[in-house]
């Protein structure tokens, strides 16, 4: 089972990894993998101390040669620091941690103006598929 805290990229919850992992470990009788905000050996060691049997690391590997995301995205990740992400989409019930980019600014504005859930969700529909397709087209060319 993966216990993924709010420090994760992508879809998130409200509980931090350091609080969530021990709760999940105590509640289940299966191996627990810690995820969210873990990027090095110190985070791995902390997860083990919390009772996890391993970790899932995501964002750290985006900038590797093996990852097929666009180089601009890799560079944005490498340049980002601890204040360069924000959670958006809380009004929809589907919060997501993202880099502070123009779409996020626009969504935040719409949320503050009381935009309905359907309009906010429509902004993200198909975006992952479109990005993946673009990357695949670039590989073929």
Dmax over CA atoms of the chain, in Å, equals 51
87 with 99: CB under 8 angstroms?
Answer: no
pLDDT at 140 over 60: no
pLDDT value at residue 122: 74
Indicate if the pLDDT at residue 99 is higher than 50: yes
What pLDDT, on a 0 to 100 scale, did the predictor assign at position 91? Answer: 72
Contacts of residue 39, Cβ cutoff 8 Å, sequence gap at least 6: 57, 59, 60
The pLDDT value recorded for residue 49 is 98
Map residue 66 onto helix, strand or coil.
coil
Contact between 50 and 29 under an 8 Å Cβ cutoff? The reply is no
For residues 33 and 72, the model is more confident at 33
Q: Rounded to whole angstroms, how far apart are CA atoms 108 and 39?
A: 28
pLDDT in the model for residue 141: 45
In whole angstroms, give the CA distance from residue 35 to residue 28. 16
Please compute the mean of the pLDDT values over residues 103-108 and round it to a whole number: 71
**For the residues 14-19, what does the mean pLDDT come to?**
94
pLDDT at 19: 97
b/e sequence 69-104, b meaning 16+ C-beta within 10 Å: eeeeeeebbeeeeeeebeebbebbeebbbbeeeeeb
Q: Say if residue 133's pLDDT is above 80.
A: no
Closest CA to 16 of 41, 46, 40: 46
19-69 pLDDT tens trace: 999 999 999 999 999 999 998 999 999 999 999 999 999 888 888 999 988
Domain boundaries, the chain: 2-60, 65-140
């Amino acid at each position: 089972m993966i216990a993924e805290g709010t420090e994760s990229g992508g879809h998130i919850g409200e509980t931090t990894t350091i609080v969530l992992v021990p709760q999940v470990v105590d509640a289940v009788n299966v191996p627990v993998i810690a995820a969210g905000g873990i990027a090095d050996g110190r985070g791995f060691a902390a997860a083990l101390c919390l009772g996890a049997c391993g970790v899932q690391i995501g964002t750290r590997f985006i900038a590797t040669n093996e990852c097929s995301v666009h180089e601009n995205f890799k560079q944005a990740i490498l340049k980002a620091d601890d204040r360069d992400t924000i959670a958006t989409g809380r009004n929809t019930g589907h919060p997501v941690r993202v880099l502070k980019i123009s779409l996020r600014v626009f969504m935040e504005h719409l949320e503050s103006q009381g935009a309905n859930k359907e309009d906010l969700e429509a902004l993200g529909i198909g975006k992952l598929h479109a990005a993946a397709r673009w990357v695949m087209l670039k590989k073929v060319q």
